[in-house]
Amino acid sequence: MTKPIVFFDIDGTILNHDKVIPESTKKAISELQNKDIHVAIATGRAPFMFKELRDELNINTFVSLNGQYAEFEGETIHTHALHPEQLHQFAQRAKELDVPLVYLNNETMKASIETHPHIKEAMTSIRMHHPEVQLDFYHNRDIYQVLLFCEEHEESKLTDGFNDFNFIRWHEYSSDVLPIGGSKANGIQQMVNHLGFDMNNVIAFGDGLNDLEMIEKVGTGIAMGNAVQPLKKLANHITTNVDEDGILNGLKWAGLLK
């Protein structure tokens, strides 16, 4: 039997709601690695946002920025940037409507405004600071994801007409802006192709709306007990909450750990 590759989301999956890794999760991931089972991360975060976590768990393979940037053991194997002209038009509309944005690549992030309460609230929820301002950051460089900061009822006035982008809400005050077709599922597919694996041998754990395509596409999709309801409906299995040994119990259910 071919050994699987297991992908873990970060927030609400590896990290609990206090942004701490439960001890049972650390031990479970270490046991997988001792069995020579591939362990990887699939997250909406950019690589620079979870370097310490990768070091702590000894994980060097990841799909980040909701699938737009992927590395295998330190080698970049997939990138998918937002269309430059569409991004410029989107930035102009956001400026006209006085709506803040944050631009991300694999190395850093920059904001379109000096300070804003929506940015502060959303970034604080993932233990990140308000980024520095650089208005032209998206000029002449690949941008893999943009964070749009507004309430849900305000979003359509920003997003209407931008058919080359996907918009996925992750916070009361923020949505991810991704290239059309961009998702964790697509990033995982690129990783699987690179490794010569089959999607049937992929197991993935997640909890949020940005995990929907991933959980549906992989061979075995496991939703955390604290996952959103739409994800639970798609999952092959619903494990316990992140703080109730969710990853450990999910791996036991999948037959990877005893």
Tokens of 63: 């799909």
Residue with tokens 């301002």, as numbered in its chain: 133
Per DSSP, the three-state class of 91 is: helix
Tell me if 237 sits within 8 A of 256, measured CB to CB: no
- Could you tell me where the beta strands, DSSP code E, fall in 172-247? 174-179, 202-206, 220-223, 237-238
CA angle 198, 199, 200 (to 5 degrees): 90
Environment class of residue 225 by beta-carbon count within 10 Å: exposed (0-12), middle (13-18) or buried (19+)?
middle
Q: Which residues are catalytic?
A: 9
